[in-house]
Structure 1
Amino acid sequence: MHDRSPETAPHAPGTGARGHGHRLGHGHGRGHGLGDGHGPGEGHGPVQGHGLGVAPDRRLRLPAGLRAPVEGRHWRELGYVLLSLPVAVALFTYAVTMVSLGAGLLVTFLGIPVLAAALAGCRGFGALERARARALLGCEVADPEPVRPRTGNGPLAWSGAVLRSGASWRALLYTLVQFPWAVFSFCVAVTFWAAGWSLLTYPLWFWAFPVWGGQDGIQLYGDGQHAFYLDNPFEIAVTALVGLLIVLATPWVVRALTTVDRLLVHGLLGPSRLSARVSELESDRGVVIDTAAADLRRIERDLHDGAQARLVNLAMELGLAKEKLAEDPQAAARMVEEAHGEVKTALQELRDLARGIHPAVLTDRGLDAALSSVASRCTVPVRVDVDLPERPAPAIEGIAYFTVSELLQNVSKHSRARSASVEVWRSEDRLMLQVVDDGVGGARLDGGSGLRGLAERLDAVDGVLVVDSPPGGPTRVTAELPWRR
């Protein structure tokens, strides 16, 4: 850094400064070559050794902090910030103009439809903003709840539904809040980006100051007596180094700015927590209804094909025995004996069917005894460990019982296991179940073993099913249910 008075400051930068600029350019060239040869996009393939087999594939990856300025994610985020300013100006202008016009016309009948049209326009712009965030930020935001008129389908019903919709007012709030934030983020991003790249490339263009500007370089300080310029090789190198640091910091600054944009889009343009919960409950209600209907069909099928068929056959046999009672008492006695066996079989089927609906042992003695009964019917030895200080809600207890029953059926049918274990315990306000077997593994939620339907059934009551089943085993299925007591 040179201290020169205005009268004596020369205009020539000297050859040393250009020489330093050449060295910096050479270094940058080597860095570029390293990125092209060994970067994440092109690494070397396998290299044949001299009689030693194939050498491992080696790639030299730059640290994330050095790759960030040239990655596509940074340029998409920067593009989002730069585009936000004109978009925010348009949204803010539309929202303020239309809402002001609608509010001013509220003294007449026209105010309500104009205000509804303003909110509907904000909802439409919100859809465009969600699409822009999805394309440039990878931010997936679900659509808010649709406008649903309570009664009728006319313009008045539609206007009332738009005005009552919380999503409409959140979209309006987004247009008002995003404008000042877009101005701030645009200024910060452009300042960092322009300053960083300008200083980093200073060795390439500093010669323009003496040739076209009439000064030695960038002026840091100047008054009537002294002026300080960045004009010698050392100062130019330090300037470029500072520019490099700013360039490396810019992606993280832009990412922090777009994090706020993500929060705005999620919080104001997506569905509210209440509406999301309502949608989830509606979906869960559908699952519960479908499950109940499937259970009713299963019970009807079991009754029709099992106990009902046996009882019909029993009635026919008893009728024949009644006819033969006078003619051939011995044959009638044999037929009655066979009918007695059919009665026992039908009774056993009815007991099994009742146990499938809701076992009496579960109601009388709880999960420990009920699960021990289920384990005793499994084809492999099962160890049952139930550690509960008290019984959960009856509905949750029933779901836990049928979950373990279905999992043990899968163990019997699909696992080829030699042993299994069932553990049940309470963790705060959650009921935890875990079934482990030493079978062949490979179970998946999208497989054909009924695990997907079981997961949907648990999800309907805010439960979770996790399957850990690597090929070769063991299989560990963990279920979590609310306690609700």
Structure 2
Amino acid sequence: MNVTPSPPAPRRRSRVNPAALASVIVGGLLFCSWFWISLAVLLTGLSALPALGSGLLLLIPWILAMQLAVRAERRRAVAVHGISVILPARRRSRREGAAQWIQNRWFELGSGAFWRGVLHHHLAMLVAGLFFLAFLVLLRIGWAGWELALAYGPFEVGGVELSRWALALIGTLGLVLSVAMLALGALADLGLARGLISGSEDDLREQVAELAERRQGAVDAAAQERLRIERDLHDGVQPRLVTLAMTLGVARTAIRSDPDRAEQLVGEAHSEAKAVMTDLRQLARGIHPAVLTDRGLDAALSALAARSRIPVELQVELADAELARLDREREAVAYFVVAEALTNIARHSGASRAAVLVTQHEGTLRVRIEDDGRGGAAVRRDGVSTGLAGLSDRVRATGGRLEVVSPEGGGTVLLAVIPPGTAAAAVRPTPATQEVLR
């Protein structure tokens, strides 16, 4: 399985930088406003739950706001502190439309990474708020010290007279300590980010489990492909080669006693040899068609549609820039999904037409095949009808999914969702990882 190299790591930032100091100020402002609003909504919603669940009217918007806040905190940790954020692969909904969005939100709600992000969001505001208040107090002391030194001269406090230099020293210390409070706040924020949202061993275990599932999908797909090749060779090419050898053997025996018969047999052997060569070309095309390598996915799918025994409406909506970025693995998976689907439609569905739509959005390739046949298709692993199981394994090996909707008498819709190839465990602010953070 080809794996796209992970994006380059962001340039390592210093522990304290202007962006980190500004982040403490912003966190302090949020502490004075959003922090208390969030806690009030949460506590009010929880207290209202016994009243016929009316608290859900507050808790559901709060949870959705927290999901947005957690994503923002992850991006901030990457942009401000330059740390890597490890996100465990989570379950994805196989539904469509609003149901898919709702189920994805539910799956995110059940992940430990989300609740750690919620805790980090509030602790970060609390810590930033404390250091921000200390910054404001010390800044005011420094400002007052310099204002007294420059405008009023010596100043008496509690019977002690402070000279201009003493007031200037107090003002300078106040200003320096105020900046130090921001620096300490930035370091505390960095520590919280590393401890709560940068990832944990549990996250890595989930990543390993996801990769193991992908590997098993690749193994299963390879086994299905090997069995198919063996079956095609055993049932198709091998008997024809045996017949060809027998024909040539009879022709060699009759070449002196019956030249006309031998000539006829050689002609039959020649025709059979050309037929075997055609079978071998078809078999090689089933392994990896040359047109896919030479001319790309669009041309290969057009050739499939042209060879289909039923009319096929093909629509490939890929921009040139996106098409150039398709790697060989995803092209091959998309091609074989369409090839196997059209073969099944022609053999088993009784359909009069088929439609194929291939689109790509933000790196994710979607292949939809629809027919108007009798329906009833399903992924089976009974050793008899395993075509869709092999396709499911191929798609699963890329980290994607294959959906089958096939009611009896209502036609069949196959949808293969193939994500961008990636081996990266760290989430970084690159286009390849934008979807992961959603």
Structure possessing the higher radius of gyration over alpha carbons: 1
TM range (shorter): 0.3 to 0.5
Q: So what's the TM-score if we normalise by structure 2?
A: 0.47
Structure number with the bigger relative contact order (C-alpha 8 A, sep ≥ 6) is 2
Q: So what's the TM-score if we normalise by structure 1?
A: 0.43
